[in-house]
Chain A
C-alpha cells in the first residue's frame, strides 16, 4: 500500500507541480523511508533522539561488532564495504620520533595479528568507528535529490528507491562511513539498525560488544545510560573542527585518531 501511495504521490506531483514541488516530494519520501525502516507502527520518532557512545578504553578489538553488523544488515562479506569497523593504533618511539601505525584489516572482523614486537610498542589502543549520524550531516547537504535524510529521531538514512547513485555523499562524508552498494546501485551506510531500535532493541554492534565499549541510547531520556556517561565523562567527537556535530561520542579519544 505504501509504495503505491508514494509512487502515486511522486507521479502526481511531478506532472502537476514539476520542479517547484521538490521540497514537498522530498518530505514525503523521507516520511515513507522512515515508515519502511520501522515495522513497529506504535513507534513515534518524535519521542526519541538517539546517541551513541564509544569507550575506547574498553574496546579489545575482537571484531564481533563489525561481524554482527555485516550479518544483521546483509552487508556483503566478500566486498570491502563496512558499516562499522575497528581501527588499531600502535605508537612506537625512537628518541623524540613517534611513529603511529594504524590498521583495520577487514575492518577488524577477523581480529588483529601482531606484526610489531610488543616491547617496541609504547602505546596501543583500538578505536571502533561507525557513522556519526551528524546533526549537521555533510552527506545530507550534498545529496542532489534528497535521497539521504535525517529522521526526526536523529538517524541519517538512505532511501534506496530514490538514490541516483552519484556518490557525492560518499565524497562528502569526512569519516569514510559511506560506501557504494553495487547490488542496488546506491549509496549505503550504517542505520544504527533502525529496524531494531524502533522496536526497542539495540543496534547489532552494541548488542554484540562483549565489553560494553559501545553504548546506544536516547538523548531525550535524562535517565539513559548515554546521558549519564555524557554528564560524567570528558568526551570528544571525531573531526570536531569540521562542524558536522557528530552524535557518536568518544570517551578516551587520542589525538592521533582522525
Chain B
C-alpha cells in the first residue's frame, strides 16, 4: 500500500507518520496489568478477603514480573534511548510524563518491600536449610536477618498491610497517571477527557484480575494441582464487578461525546465507524466486556459443574485481556489516526522488524512470563494455594 491509500481527507503534512507505535500501546497495557495484579493481591492484604489469600503472593510476583518490563517499551521507543534517564535527573515538572520515573521507582520499592515481607519467612527458612550458592542467595535475600519468631512475623504482617495500604493509591496513581498522559492532551479530541485516568484504572484492574485468573489456572494445570474454587469464583466475582464500572465509564465517555456533538464529532464518528470499528465495537466492547459479563453472570448463577464454570471463567479472562489490549490500542493508535485538522484520517501499519515494530513488542510481552517463572522458582508461592485445599 502506498501512503496515499492510508490517508483519507486532509491531514497536516507532518502527520503522515504515526509517532507512537505498538510499543506505546504496550506501555499502558503492561502498567495496567501491574496495577490490576497488585490491587487483586490487596483484596487479601488490605481488605482481608481470605478467599483471595491463596493467590495473594502469586499476584505480587505477577505484578513485579510485569513491572520490571514496564519501562522497556518506553525506552525502546525513544529517539535517544540513552538520554531517557534525564527524565529522572531533570524532570520538567509541568509535563505529565516527567513524573514517570519517580512514580515508577516509588511503586517498584513498594512492590519489592511487600514481596520481601510476604516471603521473608520462606526466605529465612531456605537460608538456614540450604547449602552452597543457594544458601548465599537466600541469605542475601534475607538481608542476613534471620529472625522469624512469631513476634517478628507478626510485625512483618502488620508492616505489609500498611505498605499495601500505601500501595493501593500508588497503584492507582501509577496507572491513573498513565491515563492522564493521554487525557491531558487538549490537541487530541479523542484523548482529551478528564475521565481518561479513571477509565484506565478500571480497565487496569479488570485486566490484572483476568491475567491473575489465567495464570492461576495455568499454574495449577502445569503443576497438576487442583484449583481452589472458592478463590477462583471469588476472583471471577471481582472481575465482574470491575467490568461493570469499566464499561459504564467507557460508554459514558462515548455517549457524552456524541451527545454534546462538538466540532470534532464528525471525525470521531469516522474514527469509530471506519478506522477502529472492529477493534472498538467488536473486540473492546463485545469480546472484551459484553461476552465476559454474560458468561460471568452465568457462572454466578450456575450450581456445581465446577469444570464448566472454570472453562467459562478462563474464556472470559482470555477475552478480557484481549479486550483491554484492544482498548489501549483504540486509544493510543486510534487517537493518532485522526488528524488534528479534524478533516482527515491516517492509518497505522505495524512493521514487524524495526525498533518500534511488532518483534520488540512480542519480546517485551513474553519477557514478564519468563521473569515470573524465575521469580516463582526463587520464591515459590504455591504452598498458599495448596494449604487451603484440604
Contacts and interface: CB of A to CB of B under 8 A. Distances in A.
Interface of A: 14, 18-19, 21-23, 25-26, 29, 80-82, 85, 87, 100-104, 106-107, 129, 138, 140-146, 162-168, 170-181, 184-187, 242-243, 258
Interface residues of B, number: 46
Contacts of A143: 92, 95
The 3 closest A-B pairs by CB, nearest first: A165-B79, A176-B12, A185-B79
Contact of B341 (A140, A176, A181): A176
Contacts of B17: 80, 179-180
Interface of B: 3, 9-17, 19-20, 74, 77-80, 83-84, 86-98, 100, 102, 181, 184-188, 336, 339-343
A170 B185 contact: no
A144 B83 contact: no
B96 A165 contact: no
A165 B79 CA distance: 4
A143 B20 CA distance: 15
B92 A145 contact: yes
Nearest to B98: A144
B95 A175 contact: no
Contacts of B185: 138, 142, 171-172
Chain B interface SS verdict (over half) = loop
A177 B14 contact: yes
B330 to A, nearest CB: 16
Contacts of B86: 145, 162, 164
A242 B92 contact: no
Contacts of A163: 79-80, 83
Contacts of B91: 19, 22, 144-145
| Residue of A19, A171, A174 with most partner-chain B CB within 10 A | A171
B341 A102 contact: yes
Contacts of A21: 90
16 contacts: A19-B90, A23-B93, A103-B10, A129-B12, A144-B100, A145-B92, A165-B80, A167-B19, A168-B95, A171-B185, A175-B340, A176-B15, A176-B340, A180-B17, A186-B79, A186-B80
A224 B15 CA distance: 35
A102 B14 contact: no
Contact of A164 (B9, B15, B80): B80
B188 A171 contact: yes
B92 A146 contact: yes
A7 to B, nearest CB: 13
Nearest to A174: B187
A83 B348 CA distance: 23
A142 B97 contact: yes
B6 to A, nearest CB: 12
Contacts of A144: 87, 91-92, 95, 97-98, 100
A22 to B, nearest CB: 4
A160 to B, nearest CB: 9
A141 B79 contact: no
Contacts of B74: 166
B343 A102 contact: yes
A45 to B, nearest CB: 21
Contacts of B10: 87, 101-104
B186 A138 contact: yes
Contacts of A85: 12-13
A164 B83 contact: yes
A202 to B, nearest CB: 23
Nearest to B342: A258
Contact of B89 (A22, A106, A166, A176): A22
Given A102-B10, A144-B97, A185-B78, 13 more contacts: A19-B88, A85-B13, A104-B12, A142-B96, A144-B98, A163-B79, A164-B79, A164-B80, A167-B79, A172-B185, A178-B14, A185-B80, A242-B187
